[in-house]
Structure 1
């Protein structure tokens, strides 16, 4: 019997010892993780130069490069990542942690130190560092907008070169453009190409209300270019480089930039209000293809079809209906869903749109008054509630999101402290709590009161970021 006990103890001790070694090995490795860099021992890359001299005057590239490179900065981020197994190991070991380093680009947008970049560049960052020339600055997050993948940060400086803004409405397919950024940590890199398309929707944004109307270019864009500038031949900003289409993760001929006219509105709103003043129509739209056109009996494939109209929404009040075909807005021809979304993205709640639509082979005019996420036309500021008892931040779910998800109430988890009460529940950020023990949750204050006082077994029910109904069982 003693022999069996000895063997059992030995096995347990050996297993725990191996786990401890592996635990600290992973911590050490993670702490040493760095942004990929070119090493001296690496073989020298083969570089092939391409001359554009016979196609466009060299002075245009030189002038545009000189005007724009000083306005594009290098951004480095540091994130503390904590790992939990969710199993019995959490009883014996502290949560494993590591440091994740990221990098990207940013564009100096104003003289007082405001910089525009991509939301995915700074997302979940605990520290943001901006490197401009030979100077390094700590940056603070001003605001971010996942629906456009844009963010604004600020540094304490007033002597950086501000980019000159262009007008993305006047960008033409076929015109020359430059992509300026910091791919693979190669700072102040400039590549040339043309605008190969406008109004691209490539379905990469995972927000509930994504706005995609990208400028497509064949100027080389690689990891690290995100948040950098797409400029025209005069060095004026026409877009913020955001994405590439690639099977390898590197440049494969197609890059995408957010039009500067959308960027300007998002920037102004985040700086002034801390939140983008999004405008909503209350309708869902789909593009027209030949099969759909044949089914509903129309010949012109330009425009969009209304697939649904929410009761009481702006579109409903304007008299628009399902199956209406939107042809023009404010006299501008609508070619596809992306062009309509771009127009709405540049508008504010309360703006009036003159809509020309086709219904049953007849043209009709409707005035559509855009609304905010609560269904009104007033300015909205984000109201985040911090619960000291739960060590977490929450916010009420806006009406437009409740309508989309088909719920009457709910409280969204914004974020939480890693060692606080709420973190131990294992409920992720972005989760919408709709019920606790079948009781509806309407406000963050109500949620805090219930979770603080509840005892025994209880169920938290809600909607995850993918729109699925999920429940978490607990006992306290």
Structure 2
């Protein structure tokens, strides 16, 4: 009886996973860029596709749906620092997957990834959710403050495909392999924020990460280890109008610490373009606050 029960449970689980795979596969596309490609995830029924920025670095892409229909895709938004790109195709009534917050996942939960590894269409990988943590300093200069980590076996070609829970909800977009059976996905909440914003405000500065000078750090009780050194200011930009200068060290925007360039890019991605932000910076070792105004012309 025990053996029979185990077999029954195993058969039921297999059927559920098969049904889940069938549902998810219909929402995964192939993304080609002329030299290679990866996967993409249908995010909305009206043709919005999410993939990784490294899959479409030049913006040009050809998208092939599960039913083999193929479309030229338009790049409508990108956030390279989070390795995300949004593509739009002229198609409707597509089988979009529903997103879910990755923050509610618990370690050990089953997750499924779908992609096109090594040219194999719609390949399925099963694994378990490991946790959430920051990923920095990759070869493509990606910085993901809250990355979904999974114990799952992925191969090249899986990038841009969905990581889903057992209900078929997207909890992340697969982005990179960190080691044997360790993969990283960009959280669905990060994707949704980019989808909602679609545009990124431009400050108009060129920056690089530097250590916070020890003198001002002690004087102003600064605990953050790094900040952004302004190395250039473009004309007719919010930064120029706010009179930012090369040599300024930007510590924070609206109270949010800026530890590396990706933090600034992420802070400027939001639901609205017209806004005023407050920058905290060091100028000549002295703590300053500067107001910066963005308008529609700064997109």
Is this a same-fold pair by TM over 0.5?
yes
Separation (CA, whole Å) in 2 of partners of 1:230 and 1:116: 12
Task: Name which of 211, 214, 225 aligns with 1:294.
Answer: 214
Q: CA deviation at 1:197?
A: 1.8
Separation (CA, whole Å) in 1 of partners of 2:268 and 2:155: 30
Asked if residue 326 in structure 1 is aligned to residue 251 in structure 2, the reply is yes
Aligned structure 1 segments of 4 or more residues deviating by more than 6 angstroms: 123-127, 171-175, 359-362
Three-state SS of the structure 2 residue aligned to 1:143 is strand
Matches for 1:142-153 after TM superposition, within 5 Å = 142-143=74-75, 145=78, 147=80, 148-153=83-88
Any idea what the Cα deviations from partners look like across 1:28-47, whole Å, max 9, x if unmatched? xxxxxxxxxxxxxxxxxxxx
Separation (CA, whole Å) in 2 of partners of 1:228 and 1:353: 35
Asked if residue 367 in structure 1 is aligned to residue 279 in structure 2, the reply is no
Greater RCO between the two (CA within 8 Å, min separation 6)?
2
Matches for 1:158-173 after TM superposition, within 5 Å = 158=93, 160-166=94-100
Q: CA deviation at 1:171?
A: 7.5
Query: Which blocks of at least 5 consecutive residues in structure 2 are unaligned?
Result: 1-12
Separation (CA, whole Å) in 2 of partners of 1:150 and 1:163: 17
Separation (CA, whole Å) in 2 of partners of 1:325 and 1:222: 39
Contact kept? 1:283, 1:306, Cα under 8 Å: no
Q: CA deviation at 1:157?
A: 4.7
TM-score by length of 2: 0.66
Matches for 1:344-359 after TM superposition, within 5 Å = 344-346=268-270, 349-357=273-281
Which entry has the higher C-alpha Rg, 1 or 2?
1
Contact kept? 2:258, 2:264, Cα under 8 Å: yes
Three-state SS of the structure 2 residue aligned to 1:307 is strand
Q: CA deviation at 1:204?
A: 0.5
Contact kept? 1:349, 1:378, Cα under 8 Å: no
Asked if residue 230 in structure 1 is aligned to residue 163 in structure 2, the reply is yes
Q: CA deviation at 1:367?
A: 2.2
Which is richer in strand? 2
Task: Name which of 122, 125, 128 aligns with 1:187.
Answer: 122
The 1:127–1:198 alpha-carbon spacing in structure 2 relative to 1, beyond 3 Å, is closer
Separation (CA, whole Å) in 2 of partners of 1:359 and 1:177: 50
The 1:126–1:265 alpha-carbon spacing in structure 2 relative to 1, beyond 3 Å, is closer
The 1:283–1:78 alpha-carbon spacing in structure 2 relative to 1, beyond 3 Å, is closer
Three-state SS of the structure 2 residue aligned to 1:342 is helix
Contact kept? 1:70, 1:161, Cα under 8 Å: no
Any idea what the Cα deviations from partners look like across 1:136-176, whole Å, max 9, x if unmatched? 21122122648445241426451x432223457x5799685
Matches for 1:99-118 after TM superposition, within 5 Å = 102=36, 104-118=38-52
Number of residue equivalences? 272
Separation (CA, whole Å) in 2 of partners of 1:149 and 1:369: 26
Q: CA deviation at 1:193?
A: 2.9
Contact kept? 1:306, 1:324, Cα under 8 Å: yes
Any idea what the Cα deviations from partners look like across 1:204-233, whole Å, max 9, x if unmatched? 06xxxxx74362524433212111113467
Any idea what the Cα deviations from partners look like across 1:375-401, whole Å, max 9, x if unmatched? x63276xxxxxxxxxxxxxxxxxxxxx
Equivalence for 2:296: 377
The 1:114–1:325 alpha-carbon spacing in structure 2 relative to 1, beyond 3 Å, is closer
Equivalence for 2:3: none
The 1:164–1:67 alpha-carbon spacing in structure 2 relative to 1, beyond 3 Å, is farther
Separation (CA, whole Å) in 1 of partners of 2:261 and 2:104: 19
